[in-house]
Amino acid sequence: MSKPIASYSPYRRAGDTVYCSGQIPLQAKTGGLISGSIEDEVNQAIDNLAHVLREANSSLEKVVKTTVFMIDPRDYDEMDSAYRARFSEPLPAREAVFVAGLPKQARVEISAIAID
């Protein structure tokens, strides 16, 4: 897992709830963004999210809510396809928020809430 790039914790636990900070498609080894398709970036962000959840003794299967931040609305369908392949039914509640920019000029960032 990459170190946080600013002043925040990768996750915080409150009882049986895990709040995960947004994950961008950073490579753990280099600390740099991956380059590739939006599907590649979504998968890396979810890989990073899965790692944070493991650190919190949780998992993607326990995620009940996500927020996906994106800079380009044209990437929505491809993001949704990659996202759907990574989460099982019932899918987490989710919103997609389009923003002017993300840290390190990422195209996608995903935060999550998991319940044990």
CA geometry: angle 79, 115, 11, nearest 5 deg: 70
Per-residue pLDDT tens digits for 26-51:
998 888 999 899 999 999 999 999 99
Per-residue pLDDT tens digits for 70-112:
999 999 999 999 999 999 999 999 999 999 999 999 999 999 9
Residue 112 contacts residue 54 (beta carbons within 8 Å): no
Domain 11-115 class, CATH top level? alpha beta
Question: H-helix or E-strand containing 43?
Answer: helix 38-55
Tokens of 96: 């997609």
> Could you tell me the residue ranges of all domains in the chain?
11-115
